[in-house]
Chains A and B, each alone.
Chain A
Amino acid sequence: MKLECLTCHGVYDDAHDGVRYFHVCPSLSAAELAAAVAAQRVVLPVDPATGKPETPDVAVLRRSYTRANRRDERPDPAAAAVDGVHPPIAAGAGTTPRPDLDVAAALVTVDLSHLPPAAPAVP
């Protein structure tokens, strides 16, 4: 089933090859961190090399900025299992089905049986 994570808005298939896929929200990108800095959600430290606040491009190389309420679908072995299944590490904001979006390449079958044979190449 194709799902959209309502925390990071990533889109994924939870079992496209028959093996369960465990989505984990990514750390903030430089663009997302720049938006967070502009919205005063985080303050970047002073870069000793420049004496000015780090740029987001530099900051994401030095540490991981994890989004609040991130989703982590991996099973939490420390939590009690329900019917033999462990709950996720973090549910985040949840997911919503997105059957309209293709994540993996789709296979398309084309019937060529009624086409005339190709003309031989002329030297």
Chain B
Amino acid sequence: MTAATDYDTIERRNPWPGGSAIRVTGEDDLRLTVLNGLAGVTVVVRGRVLNCDGELIPFEQKLTPTTDRLASTVTVRLSEGWLVQAHAFVSAGSPLVGQTFALLSVIRGDAAAAIDLFTLAAGYVTATQRASFPSGGVGSSLRFDGAIRSITGTAPGAGAEISETVPAGARWDLLAFFTTLTTSVAAANRVPALFLDDGANVFIKSSQQGNQIASLAWDYLWAPGDQSQAAGNRLIVTSSLPVPVRLGAGYRLRTNTTAIQAADQWAAPQYVVREWIEGS
């Protein structure tokens, strides 16, 4: 059998079981796009092309994505033939499902001018969970379980309020928010509240029930579904939030303390969220 005959055969019919292979011309390439929030992650794409001589040619390309949840890309040059298999997975780093989202697509053109022709696979990737073609499918980054993160926020300066901002490219479910207010000797009845806003407009205000006077250190907890309780003598105050509390990029969680004094000090908040890559 000659090479020409092989080529004609390949041209006439899909050569892979189930007809799942994708015909690629010499102008088509494979692009790996990764949106990632974790440091130290490397994503690798591997696969095989059945070329016009009937040979299976493996390929591999690695990508170290940025950690700002914006898109990082790498292009795999494909020879003419049939793209029969491709998958992406994490080869370095330990992201959770919800932290590193990979998308495989066939493109045509170079660099920024390239156009996506077809999406092969999309999903969160880890060392063991892969975005694969042809068996993996294409899923939204918001469809899967998010990553559970425990975040230590900023300890504000004296007399300042806590303010935490959902980072670009992320979506959060707030599960708990804990912090401590240490009051100065200045006499006043401080009443903390947790405000949730969209970056400007407040849509939830959850005020605590107790007055914290001078020279005290009280713990404060806000959690969805929790029951509001005054401090009494327990030095811990709880307050409720709706279920769920879903926050988009740019939304803020911030305290607002009635009668806060210049030397009052909020501790760094510790809060737990479920996080997704927004994919915007």
Contact: A17 with B261, CB < 8 Å?
no
What sequence of 0s and 1s flags, for each residue 240-263 of chain B, a beta carbon within 8 Å of any chain A beta carbon? 000000000000101011111110
Stretch at the interface among B19-27, B53-61, B137-145, B160-168: B160-168
**Contact A74-B256, Cβ < 8 Å, known A20-B67, A85-B68:** no
Stretch at the interface among A30-38, A41-49, A112-120: A30-38
Contact partner of B254 among A27, A77, A85, CB < 8 A? A27
Q: Interface residue count for A (Cβ, 8 Å)?
A: 41
Contact: A30 with B254, CB < 8 Å?
no
What total of A-B pairs shows CB separation below 8 Å? 115
**Contact A29-B257, Cβ < 8 Å, known A10-B160, A19-B149:** yes
Stretch at the interface among B36-44, B125-133, B219-227: B36-44
- Residues of B close to A26: CB separation below 8 A: 154, 156, 160-163, 254
**Residues 46 to 71 of chain B near chain A (Cβ within 8 Å):** 66-68, 70
- Residues of B close to A61: CB separation below 8 A: 256
- Residues of B close to A34: CB separation below 8 A: 262
B1 at the A/B interface (Cβ < 8 Å)? no
**Residues 161 to 202 of chain B near chain A (Cβ within 8 Å):** 161-163, 165, 167-168, 200
B159 at the A/B interface (Cβ < 8 Å)? yes
Contact partner of A16 among B68, B70, B152, B260, CB < 8 A? B152
User: Chain B's nearest CB lies how many Å from the CB of A55?
Assistant: 10
A8 to B168, CA, bound (A): 21
**Contact A23-B257, Cβ < 8 Å, known A10-B160, A29-B159, A31-B264:** no
Contact: B152 with A10, CB < 8 Å?
no
A96 at the A/B interface (Cβ < 8 Å)? no
B268 at the A/B interface (Cβ < 8 Å)? yes
A9 to B266, CA, bound (A): 12
B151 at the A/B interface (Cβ < 8 Å)? yes
- Residues of B close to A30: CB separation below 8 A: 257-260
B211 at the A/B interface (Cβ < 8 Å)? no
User: Chain B's nearest CB lies how many Å from the CB of A87?
Assistant: 11
Residue of B nearest to A61 (CB): B256
**Contact A27-B39, Cβ < 8 Å, known A11-B268, A19-B149, A57-B258:** no
User: Chain B's nearest CB lies how many Å from the CB of A102?
Assistant: 9
Contact partner of B167 among A10, A13, A74, CB < 8 A? A74
- Residues of A close to B38: CB separation below 8 A: 18-19
Residue of B nearest to A84 (CB): B66
The contact sample of 7 A-B pairs, CB cut-off 8 A, is A17-B150, A22-B168, A26-B160, A27-B254, A29-B161, A57-B258, A74-B165
- Chain B residues within CB distance 8 Å of chain A: 37-40, 66-68, 70, 72, 99, 149-163, 165, 167-168, 200, 252, 254, 256-262, 264, 268, 270
| A-B contact sample (14 more), CB < 8 A, given A20-B67, A30-B258 | A10-B160, A11-B268, A15-B39, A16-B151, A19-B67, A26-B163, A29-B257, A31-B264, A32-B159, A57-B259, A84-B72, A101-B155, A104-B152, A104-B268
